[in-house]
Structure formats: structure tokens, C-alpha cells
Structure 1
Amino acid sequence: MATTHIKRSSSSSRLVNYAEKRAVQKDGHNLDIDYAKSEFKQIREIYGNKGSTQAYASRVAFSPKEFDPKNTQDQIKALEIAKEIYSTAYPNQQVALYVHNDTDSLHVHAVIGAIDLQIGKKMHGNWQQYREKLVKITDKVVKNHGLEVTIPKPRPEKLSMAEIKMKERGQPTWKDKIRQAVDSTMREAHIIDFKSFKSKLREKSVDVFERGKELTYKLTGTNYKARGSKLGDDYKKETIFNELDRRTELQFGRNNERQGSTWLEGRGERLEQEQRARQNLAKRAEDLQRGTLESAKQSIQPSQQRPQKSKERGLGGPSL
């Protein structure tokens, strides 16, 4: 049985430093594993891709019943399976893989470069979809290798006595009201950062606060509040911030494209203006040349109009 998860990171080097020092086996996809940090950096510099997210940290762990952490052959097999999982999930991205055996479960850490090598942009999508896609691919690959597929056990939500009574009366609880407010806020595409997220929730009578790794939601003017982790995965700080970061980076890319098109359109106008200027300059030069020639012609009179020399006296005088 294998379990997996994924989260974003602002430093690929920090992830590599942590994973590499404890690794008993390692390998890479779309990079040389011995130069992982420099190759992650090189790709970022080549594509000039800015933003807070440099990489994604993921891990796939195997059951002690299926793999012995101290067995070298099991370590190699686990690395082979992990490479198949991540190369299938992220075929166009750099992935550094490190096998750890420092716990009862043999596990593989993956550092996934954020940039798609085929298009030169960061991967975009819904965070929940990232996780679901990776879980599905993991289950499929481990099943093909004869391993047990993980079946997650749903955790029942714990309700307070006040919530139980409200549900019995058919009334929505304060947690339901908070969820509805967050859902409707996140459906608005222009909400791309925490400031706008917080402001919009306030309009819906919900205050939100950062508390370390948690978000705490509170109905305005009441003592009813709940942590995001208690409301569900979709309301956790990690989920909300990852989605807001995705929207910000997507908006940043669109602005760059829009500026690029404006530049191209302006470039076309500039070329036309330069061409007209050259044509006008050539016309003026031609006119000037024509005027010069005409002036020269006028200065040279025909021979019959010139004064005739007298055979006996000077020029043009009467004969005596």
C-alpha cells in the first residue's frame, strides 16, 4: 500500500538539501540528479519565470508489509515505482527523487520543478485536482506492480452539542455559513490574493485570520469561529493560498501576453511610420534634385540668345 501527498515550496534548493542528505538511493527525471539544484536554477533563468513558487514537494510512502526499509533491492524497487509515478504525472517537468529509510515505512521524496519544459510556463490548475490526479496515478502504478492500493477512510466531522441541536432543528450551523461564504468568494475569478479574499469575506460577515499554519474563520460580531482544518481540506490555509497563488501567476502570465501583443501592434505602427518617413525623405530629396537641375538649366542660355561678337567692335555694338 502506498500513500502520497503534494505541497508547494518557494525554494527548490531547500527541498533538495533536505532530501539529498538522508537519501540511500536517488534518481532524476528530466535532470541529472547529481546537479539537481543548479539545473532547477538554470531552467528558471532560461525561461525567466518569476513568482513565489519554485517547486513542489511530494512524497510517496510504502507499507512495511510490502517493503523493508533496510533492504537495498526494496529501496531500488521503490525508487523505480516512484519514478514511474512522477514521470507519468509530470512528463514535461524536472523531478528529483530521493529514497529515505529513516522511518518504519520506506518512502521517496520528490522535488518537482514548477516549470513545464515544453511551454516554459508554470503548471496551473486547481490544487485539489493536483492531489487527486497524483493519487489516481499512484494507485494505478502500484497496482500494476502488484502492490495494495490505498483506500482512504473518511473521517466523520466532530460536532459540538450546539451544532447537533441546530442540525436537529434544521438550521445551518455557523460552520455551514462560513463554508458557504468561502465557497461563494472563491467562485469569483477576480479574487487572486489574500487581501481581496479577506475583504470579500468581510462583506459576507465572515472574518478570517492567519494563525501560523492555519486560517481561522469567525462570523463577524459573534464568538462563533472555526479553524480551516476543521471545516475541511478545501478551507485549509494551504489549499486557499495555493489556489490564490495559482490565480496570481496566471494573471501575471496573461498580463505579459497582453503587453507582448501591445508591443507587437505598436511595432507594426512604428514600422509603417518609419516607412512613410523614408518615402517622404526620398520624395524631398528627389524634389530638391529636380529643383537643382532646373536652376542649372536656366543658368545656361541657348546660343542664339547670347550676345554676338562684332567683327569690328566689342560685343553687341552697332556696326559703324
Structure 2
Amino acid sequence: MATTHIKRSTSASRLVNYAEKRAVKKDGLNLDIQYAKSELKQVRDIYGNPGKTQAYASRIAFSPLEFNSQAPHDQATVLAVAKEVYAKAYPNQQVALYEHADTDFLHVHAVIGAINLETGQKMHGNWHQYRDHLVQITDQVCQERGLMVTQPDPHRHEKRTMAEIKLRTRHQPTWKDQIRHAVDHTMHNPFIRDFQAFQADLKQQAVKVWQRGKNLTYQLLGTNYKSRGAKLGLDYEKETIFNELASRQTKTRNEQPVRSINATTDTARTNFNRAPQLSGHPDPTASHGQNVVGSTTPADRTDRPTGQPPVSDDLKQLRRQQQQLTSPIKTDLTKRLRGLSKTNPTDQSGKSDRAQTDPSRAGQKHPDHQPTQRPSEPDDSRNNGPSR
């Protein structure tokens, strides 16, 4: 059973220096292992391929249930298996292999040159693609050699390095466990429904979190310990966290209308039950309905036209009497107005004289247009007045 790992590096020499110090066995692919650093540099200079990435650091580890880290035969077998894996995965790359036996797990460090010897181009893609490609070939080689094939656990939601596994066996917590515990505590709170609340709650637990591309990065406050969510496990990745927060927001929006409708219904029922107690009537709705029905008779409904208020016979008779009384008064007033229109000239001259001689009215404005005086006529209003 073998596990694999790969990541890019900006210095091939640094990778060789680290792997070569503790190597019990070493071998090379497309290069002389004794001159690994110089040959890797020579290829970069020949092709002149610019860029920061010089090599890729990879590792294959085998289970102690299959190989003894201190047995020379097992060491040789593990190195042969690792060389076959990298020969199939990267046939046109320079690969330097260094086997370490300083742990219970026999593992091989591989320094893979970034430049393809046939095309002169660098490896293109991301480390996820390289890892999947390497895992597939490793499982194939192990199966052909009769070794156990690593079966991924579908229920595994945490990713732990070998150092973390050893610390856990010693019952010693790690800083990654502190971050995992803080995130679990925050996500157990149902009131955390957006990323801002998620950040604020983690900050209270001395954990800082921010978005970085497609990942979330966690850091213990006051330290340089930080890790991406993908390295902590599936439950701590950006996609998992954001999907859970979005589902909580959707659930909250769906529950709000139901609660408001139930509250309105309960209030209406409560007011309806309290109505008889407040009014002092056993059934106010029934009594109200009886009063409305008794206010109009069927006869009134048939006599009055639709859309008009009911009129009684007494009111109609009273209106007819008022018309009879007011008709002679109107006739008398009309005759009086006609008689007053025929004004006496002497009265008019007197009025005009008084208007001219009255000093109190001297300052008042008079209209520009004055009515013309008619010829004097005999005053017959006294003899021919209206008679009632």
C-alpha cells in the first residue's frame, strides 16, 4: 500500500540537498544520480526556458505492514517499485530518487525536472492533475507486483500528514487540530449564516480566515501557523463551508413567511375569542346580524329604486306642503323686485347730490362707468303694489 504526494518548487538544488543527506539508497532516471544538480541545471540552460518553477518534489511512502524499513531487501524492492512508477508517469523528465528509512514507513523522495527532454517545454497543469496521474500509476504498479492498493475512505473528512498521525498516537494535539476544533465549533452554531459571521466567530477563537482564490486559508492568531482548507480536510474547504452557509440562508428565507402567517392566524383567533368577553354579549356577531335585518322591511326594498335611500310617505307629504307655502312667497318677491327696478329720478338725484356733498365719501373711489338716468316716470308703485 503506497501513498503519493507532489508539489512544485523554485529550487531544484535545495530539493536535492535535502533528499541526499539522509538517503540509504538512490537512483536516477534520465540523469546520473551522482551529478543530479549539475545535470538538472545544464538542461535548464540549454533550453533557456524562463520561469520560477525548476522542479517538482514528489514522495511515495509504503506501509510498514508490507516492508520493513531496516531490511536491505525491502529497501531495494521499494526503490525498484518507485523507479518503475516514475518511469511510467514521467518518461521524458529527469528524475532523481532518494530512499529514506528514518521512519517506520519506507519512502522515496523524487526530484522531477520541470523541462521535458523531447519538447523542451515545462510541465503544464496544476498539482491536482499531477497527483491524480501519479496515484493512478502507483496503484497500477502495486497491483501488478501483488502489493496492496490504497483504498480511499469515502467518509474521511480530514487530511493528516504523517507527523500529525504520530502526534495523535502520542495523544499530543497539533495546531491544525486547534483550527479544526474552532471551525467545528463555529459551524455547530445555527445562527452562523454568512461568511462575515463565520469570520467574526472564528476570530473570537483566535483563528483568522480569509478567501484566497478557490481556497480558504486559516491561521492561528499570534503565530505563523496557517493552512489551506484543502489540507485540513473536506469539511474545511471553501466549497463545503459556502454550501452550508447558503443552505442555511435559504432555509431561513423559507421559514419566515410561515411564521408570520401562523402569528397572524393566532392573533386573529385570540381576538375573536376575546370579543365576547370585552363586549359583554354572548355572541356579538349574531346580534349585529339581527339588527341589520330588522332595519329595513321588504316593502321598503320594493318601493325605493336601486342605489337610493328609502323615503317615507310623511316626508313626501311634508315636502309638498313646503312647496305650496313657498310658491306665493316666490311670486310676491318677484313682483317686488320688478317694482324696485323702476327707480324714482328724484331719489336718484338726491343720492347723487349726497354722494357729491358728503365729505366722508370724498376719498372713496367711484366707478368710471355710471348708470344713465332714465326719464322721470310716474310713481305708481304705491297704487299698483302686489296684493297677496
For 2:40 and 2:151, locate their aligned partners in 1 and report how far apart those are by CA, in whole Å: 34
Amino acid at match of 2:121: K
Task: Provide structure 2 residue ranges, at least 5 long, that are not aligned to the other structure.
Answer: 159-179, 200-210, 239-388
For 1:155 and 1:75, locate their aligned partners in 2 and report how far apart those are by CA, in whole Å: 30
Could you give the per-residue CA deviations for residues 12-69 of structure 1, whole angstroms, max 9, x where no partner exists?
1111111112111111111111111100000000011121111111111111121111
Please, which of 189, 195, 216 is the counterpart of residue 174 of structure 1?
Answer: 195
For 1:69 and 1:214, locate their aligned partners in 2 and report how far apart those are by CA, in whole Å: 32
Percent of aligned pairs with the same amino acid: 56
Could you give the per-residue CA deviations for residues 141-193 of structure 1, whole angstroms, max 9, x where no partner exists?
11111111112334337664552354xx8x86539999xxxxxxxxxxxxxxx
1:9 aligns to what? 9
1:213: Cα distance to partner?
6.5
1:127: Cα distance to partner?
2.2
2:187 aligns to what? 163
The 5-angstrom pairing of residues 109-258 of structure 1 reads: 109-153=109-153, 154-156=155-157, 160-166=184-190, 174=195, 212=224, 214=226, 229-230=231-232, 232=234
Structure 2 CA distance for partners of 1:144 and 1:212, relative to 1, 3 Å: farther
- Please, what TM-score do these two structures have when normalized by structure 2? 0.45
1:82: Cα distance to partner?
0.3
Name the Cα RMSD after superposition.
3.4
Structure 2 CA distance for partners of 1:7 and 1:175, relative to 1, 3 Å: farther
For 1:231 and 1:108, locate their aligned partners in 2 and report how far apart those are by CA, in whole Å: 25
Structure 2 CA distance for partners of 1:41 and 1:97, relative to 1, 3 Å: same
Amino acid at match of 1:67: F
In terms of Rg, which structure is larger?
A: 2
1:36 aligns to what? 36
Amino acid at match of 1:135: V
Structure 2 CA distance for partners of 1:213 and 1:132, relative to 1, 3 Å: farther
Q: Secondary structure at the match of 1:75?
A: helix
For 1:37 and 1:60, locate their aligned partners in 2 and report how far apart those are by CA, in whole Å: 21
Q: Does 1:57 align with 2:81?
A: no
1:254 aligns to what? none
Aligned residues: 200
CA contact (8 A) 1:56 1:114 kept: yes
- Please, what TM-score do these two structures have when normalized by structure 1? 0.54
Higher RCO, Cα 8 Å, sep 6+: 1
Structure 2 CA distance for partners of 1:234 and 1:128, relative to 1, 3 Å: farther
Q: Secondary structure at the match of 1:61?
A: strand
CA contact (8 A) 1:214 1:229 kept: no
